Amino acid sequence: MSFRGFIDDLRKNGRLTEIDRPVSKEYEAPILAHENKGPVFFGNINGSKAIMNLLGSREELGAMLGVPKEEIIQRLADITPDGEVVIVKDSPTKEVVIEEKDVDLFKLPIMKHFEKDGGEGYITAGIVVSEYDGEKNASIHRLMVVDKNTLAARLVPPRHTYVIHKKASEKGEKLPVAIVLGADPVITYASTTRVPLSKEFEYAAALRGAPVELFECANGIKVPHAEYVLEGYLDPDERVPEGPFVDITGTYDHIRPEPVIKITRIYHRIDPIYHGILPAGAEHLLMMGVPYEPKIYKAVGEVTTVSNVVLTEGGCCYLHAVVQIKKQTEGDAKNAMMAAFAAHTSLKHVVVVDEDIDIFNPDDVEFAIATRVKGDMDTMIITNVRGSSLDPRGAPDGTTSKVGVDATKVLAHKEDFERAKFPELKK
Ligand SMILES: C/C(=C\C(=O)O)CCOP(=O)(O)O
Ligand SMILES: [Mn+2]
């Protein structure tokens, strides 16, 4: 499905808020997206079109995958990245081509979001596609506008773009890239996953159940059809200060020296629709967190019987997990914690619960902690372990302390934990 097709469906189903009056890309559009929560379409953002909050809820994500929200993780865990990718000659993306001398990022509806953000705005939904030495990658990175043809890319180790760029830099070579905005949402989602190197488009094709078409840019990078494609290269050496930027925690991530992308050509559709992800908004949190849920699910499934996993919104869909297991033996929960921490190395706190707890309901999870935990026996603290660079409480060297909470029933006296039910009344 095309980006436009997806938006048309949202419109037909009455799920799209449309704002046709002129709005500014500087703060106003992000504020409106924050207030609207659901998908919001701007008909005139500094003279262009844009959409925000495209996949901003588990319901929306589930609808895209054809399953209810409770079954998203099982569906994702079942997918192997082996769908068909076909190379095609032409693309509607090439309807308009802007050559290097005319590239001007300030003409795009690239937004400024929060008052202390660095740079001249941030591209937040750009899929950075790169190829080098037989390896390719597609992943979303935040991209700060430095000037009319320069972006700074936050490349976090060990993400594949970081690894590929390092390889090219060590040989003193430029890394050709193409930044894709407004592709089939399944492809955008696939670009946030942690599939093996080179496999994002195959994963997208498997998820979609149909081949993904790629066309070749002038610099040789093969990209999916999209609203915009920004072609260029990652410089091997140049670094600029990137940030501050509000990431998933809603706090400002620091300034760091990061690599530079020079834009050498822009392709776009006639009347293109820009995609913006609101930093710290629900779409951002889900794109960061959901890809880790099947990883945790599979890892816990290796040590006990796992039922479901969620990275909770209160934990920024990244730092807190609730893992639901069908406990078989005492001690299963602690093994589940260790598997979860290993599968998602940025995870900080994990609560393990039984199958009678609704993991999507924070009150129910708190009930499990209140009635099934004895602090000295049912917690596990691991100190000096790699945490997330986004955790404001993390140590400067990137380490932190992790806490696991076993909120499962003690098997030896599980009847004490039975949740009372009202009898069914005879009618
Ligand atoms: C911007 C970040 C991640 C990404 O690009 O995937 C920061 C979070 O990375 P950590 O690995 O949690 O430090
Ligand atoms: Mn990758």
From ligand 1's centre to the CA of 318, what distance in Å?
10
Ligand whose nearest atom lies closest to the CA of 204: 2
pLDDT at position 161: 97
Please work out, in degrees rounded to the nearest 5, the angle formed at the alpha carbon of residue 207 by the alpha carbons of 205 and 212.
15
What is the model's pLDDT at position 60? Answer: 86
* Residue of 117, 184, 235, 247 marked active site: 247
Determine the pLDDT at residue 81: 94
- In the numeric block, which tokens belong to residue 127? 């899929």
pLDDT score of 368:
98
Pull the structure tokens for residue 23.
């709005």
* CB distance 72 to 61 below 8 Å: yes
- Residues with a CB atom less than 6 Å from ligand 1: 141, 154, 156, 159, 346, 388-390
State the pLDDT at residue 223.
Answer: 98
Per-residue model confidence (pLDDT) at position 363: 98
Q: Which ligand number lies closest to the CA of residue 199?
A: 2
Q: Encode the chain (427 residues) as per-residue pLDDT tens digits.
A: 899 999 999 999 999 999 999 999 999 999 999 999 899 999 999 999 999 999 989 888 888 888 998 888 888 888 999 999 999 999 999 999 999 999 999 999 999 999 999 999 999 999 999 999 999 999 999 999 999 999 999 999 989 999 999 999 999 999 999 999 999 999 999 999 889 999 999 999 999 999 999 999 999 999 999 999 999 999 999 999 999 999 999 999 999 999 999 999 999 999 999 999 999 999 999 999 999 999 999 999 999 999 999 999 999 999 999 999 999 999 999 999 999 999 999 999 999 999 999 999 999 999 999 999 999 999 999 999 999 999 999 999 999 999 999 999 999 999 999 999 999 998 8
Question: pLDDT at position 98, please?
Answer: 98
3-state SS, 163-219, equals HHHHHHHHCCCCEEEEEEECCCHHHHHHCCCCCCCCCHHHHHHHHHCCCEEEEECCC
- Among all ligands shown, which has an atom nearest to the Cα of 161? 2
Cα of 169 vs centre of ligand 1, distance in Å, is: 21
Q: Residue 406's pLDDT is what?
A: 98
For ligand 1, atom 2: residue with the closest CA: 156
Q: Where are the alpha helices (DSSP H) in 13-140?
A: 28-36, 58-65, 72-78
Q: Phi, psi (5° rounding) for residue 171?
A: -95, 5
Could you tell which of 140, 385, 389 is best to mutate to test the pocket of ligand 1, judged by most ligand atoms within 8 Å of the CB?
389
Residue 247 among the catalytic residues: yes
Of 144, 156, 386, 402, the residue with max ligand 1 atoms within 8 A of its CB, to mutate for a pocket test, comes to: 156
What is the pTM for the complete model shown? Answer: 0.93
pLDDT of residue 344: 97
* pLDDT at site 118: 97
Give the number of the atom of ligand 1 that is nearest the alpha carbon of residue 141: 5
* Alpha helices (runs of H) in 83-195, residue ranges in sequence order: 160-170, 185-190
pLDDT in the model for residue 77: 85
CB 378 within 8 A of CB 370: no
Cα of 156 vs centre of ligand 1, distance in Å, is 6
The pLDDT value given to residue 414: 93
pLDDT given for residue 37 in this prediction: 86
201 C-alpha to ligand 1 centroid (Å)? 21
